[in-house]
Amino acid sequence: MARRLFTALTFMSICIAPYLAVGTSRAQSVIADVSEHFVGITADFTGAKILFFGTITGPGKVVVVISGPAQDITVGNKVQRAGIWMNDEKVTFKNTPSFYQVLSSEPLDEWLPPDTREAKQIGVEYLKLESTEAIGPAKAADYRAALVRNMQKNNYYGKAEGQLKLLGGGLFRADIFLPSNVPTGDYTIKTYLVSFGRVTHMEVTPLNINKTGIGAEIYRVAHQHGALYGVAAIIIAVLAGLGGNAIFRKS
């Protein structure tokens, strides 16, 4: 870990150099990067931790928003009828981030004004979630809260801001934790430099999370050659049954 941090910091200083040179012309700026831009989900994947790091020049504070690929997410509701809980209404939210996490060095409520958070969608309560169905504001709020609550329960959304460590000299770093059920696809990591409550600079860092190796191959065949996959699954099952039988017959 120490070695990785050292490498990261060396890399950072190389990147920073040109910015420092023009420091006077660009009073405030932020640069950030992650230890890897691709996280491969292999058979032994049980979650991952990636290092996020960067630096700021000039005054200001940093807040980071990590968003997973947008999806349509449906929130269902159950009602009890004749003693049995059954599905009732459903509300679909368009283009909702499948993963969402905020990193900050201090609690956001203490320093980031709500209008800025709303404008930049910083924090789950400021996510712009639009439902496809026309529903009243009270109901929309219920479903919205249910979406956030359930996404948090599955570790897709952060419950609180993650810790961003300030290392002095404008350097900062944080660990980004990806759970084992992390959604796959293209992520964006937006690093905002905020000065007097206003965003003065933003840096976007891409991150791709995808299956790799045999798992990716299985997924690809299953989705592109369904019939072939089905036949293969049947053959494997028959062989497993025959194989088990052969072994036990001898004993």
Q: Name residues contacting another protein, limited to 52-71 (CB under 8 A).
A: 71
Which range in 22-30, 61-69, 81-89, 128-136 contacts another protein by CB under 8 A? Answer: 81-89
Would you put residue 96 in left (φ > 0), alpha (ψ -120 to 50) or beta?
beta
How far is residue 132's CA from residue 120's CA, in Å, rounded to a whole number?
22
**∠ CA(190), CA(195), CA(201), 5° rounding?**
35
Token reading at 140: 């929309």
For the window 162-201, what string marks contact with another protein as x by the rule CB under 8 A? ----------------x-xx--x-----------------
Write down the least CB distance from residue 136 to another protein, Å: 16
Residue 231 lies near another protein (rule: CB under 8 A): yes
Min dist CB 70 to another protein, Å, is 11
Of residues 79 and 160, the one with the C-beta less far from another protein:
79
Of 120 and 139, the one with the shorter C-beta distance to another protein is 139
| Footprint (CB under 8 A) of another protein, residues 4-43 | 35-36, 39, 41-43
The encoded tokens of residue 10 equal 């060396």
> At what angle are helices 226-250 and 214-224 packed, to 10 degrees?
120
Binding range to another protein, per CB under 8 A, among 11-19, 47-55, 61-69, 128-136: 47-55
* Residue 95 within binding range of another protein, rule CB under 8 A: no
- The rounded distance, in Å, linking the Cα atoms of 130 and 219 is 31
Query: Interacting stretch for another protein, rule CB under 8 A, among 16-24, 77-85, 103-111, 188-196?
Result: 77-85
If one asks whether residue 73 binds another protein (CB under 8 A), the answer comes out as yes
- Do 55 and 192 meet the contact criterion of CB atoms below 8 Å apart? no
Q: How far apart are CA 85 and CA 103, in angstroms?
A: 39
Choose, by CB under 8 A, the member of 3, 25, 87, 137 that binds another protein.
Answer: 87
**Could you give the C-alpha distances from 102 to 53, 97, 175, 217, in angstroms and in order?**
14, 13, 12, 33
Size of residue set near another protein by CB under 8 A: 71
Cα–Cα distance, 114 to 98 (Å, whole number): 23
Binders of another protein in range 124-143 (CB under 8 A): 142-143
Residue with tokens 């947008």: 70
What's the CA gap between 174 and 103, in Å, rounded?
8
Q: Which range in 21-29, 53-61, 113-121, 209-217 contacts another protein by CB under 8 A?
A: 209-217
Q: Which is nearer to another protein, 109 or 217 (CB)?
A: 217
Cα Rg, the chain, nearest whole Å: 24
Residue 79 is a binding residue for another protein (CB under 8 A): yes
